[in-house]
């Protein structure tokens, strides 16, 4: 996790303060040789490039073992020894840590984050997402990465790693998290993994790394830099 957040901050430093895009199109990703990912790559270059692992790879010295660690190291070994034409696609899916993409970097599957919408109107959602380091008001508490998990695998088996995590609220008053953390159901807590004795590992925008009981992550102020309270969703009192 320390390697991931150091690389994440280094990316922003090199990109004039802009943070790593969360899940967004229009941003290039390159292979280990510095070449653009070909369109004919398994899964498509667009989908691979939307996810963060291959965008961040140059700042990780192309060493994916830094983000495939612990019990998830076996997943990386399996991908390395498997079909080489599928390697880039699947390594973009299952890193040990998920990015808080809706609120840090932006996630086009969640809501638009560009300041101006395609129709020319100002985007009321833009202010809630951290797109530049200098725009963060609470970097010491806003999470960039969290230990993650998924069962969106070929055989439905649980994998301790996924590229994205979601907070307990998003766009309406109905929470996206269940009442209780279910170790067998990643969707119960937004793909967050409490694999460390009931705690999740996280890294904040300022570079801090720590553990927290998974129930403490219900606090939306940890997810959205400008969330005014523990229970908050976009649209509430905007």
The answer as to whether 177 is a domain residue is yes
The answer as to whether 91 is a domain residue is yes
CA distance 223 to 227: 8
pLDDT category at 212 given cuts 50, 70, 90 is very high
pLDDT category at 237 given cuts 50, 70, 90 is low
CA 161 distance to own-chain centroid: 11
The answer as to whether 234 is a domain residue is no
The answer as to whether 42 is a domain residue is yes
The answer as to whether 134 is a domain residue is yes
Domain holding 180, by residue range, is: 2-222
CA distance 28 to 46: 9
The answer as to whether 92 is a domain residue is yes
Condensed to tens digits (0 to 9), the pLDDT of residues 8-32 reads 999 999 999 999 999 999 988 988 8
pLDDT category at 128 given cuts 50, 70, 90 is very high
The answer as to whether 62 is a domain residue is yes
Check: CB of residue 33 under 8 Å from CB of residue 57.
Answer: no
pLDDT above 80 for 172: yes
Query: Residue 121: what pLDDT?
Result: 85
The string over 5-23, giving b where at least 16 C-beta atoms fall within 10 Å of a residue's C-beta and e elsewhere, is bbbbbebbeeeeebbbbbb
Condensed to tens digits (0 to 9), the pLDDT of residues 59-97 reads 999 999 999 999 899 999 999 999 999 999 999 999 999
Counted domains in the chain: 1
Residue written as tokens 């609220």?
Answer: 169
CA distance 171 to 7: 30
Query: Residue 115: what pLDDT?
Result: 80
Element (H, E) at 211: strand 209-213
The answer as to whether 231 is a domain residue is no
Residues in the chain: 238
Query: Which has the higher per-residue pLDDT, 141 or 34?
Result: 141
Query: Residue 120: what pLDDT?
Result: 84
């Amino acid at each position: 996790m320390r390697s991931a957040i150091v690389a994440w901050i280094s990316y922003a430093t090199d990109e004039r303060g802009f943070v790593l895009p969360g899940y967004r199109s229009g941003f290039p990703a390159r292979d280990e040789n510095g070449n653009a990912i070909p369109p004919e790559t398994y899964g498509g270059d667009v989908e691979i490039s939307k996810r963060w692992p291959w965008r961040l790879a140059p700042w990780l010295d192309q060493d994916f073992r830094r983000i495939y660690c612990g019990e998830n190291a076996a997943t990386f070994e399996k991908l390395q020894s498997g079909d080489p034409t599928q390697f880039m696609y699947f390594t973009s899916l299952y890193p040990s840590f998920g990015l808080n993409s809706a609120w840090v970097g932006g996630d086009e599957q969640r809501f638009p984050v560009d300041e101006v919408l395609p129709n020319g109107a100002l985007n009321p959602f833009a202010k809630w997402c951290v797109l530049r380091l200098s725009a963060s008001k609470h970097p010491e508490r806003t999470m960039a990465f969290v230990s993650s998990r998924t069962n969106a695998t070929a055989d439905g088996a649980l994998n301790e790693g996924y590229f994205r995590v979601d907070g307990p609220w998003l766009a309406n008053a109905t929470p996206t998290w269940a009442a209780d953390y279910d170790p067998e159901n990643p969707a119960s807590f937004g793909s967050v993994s409490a694999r460390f004795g009931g705690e999740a590992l996280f890294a904040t925008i300022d570079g801090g790394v720590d553990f927290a009981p998974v129930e403490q992550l219900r606090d939306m102020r940890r997810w959205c830099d400008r969330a005014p309270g523990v229970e908050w969703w976009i649209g509430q009192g905007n």
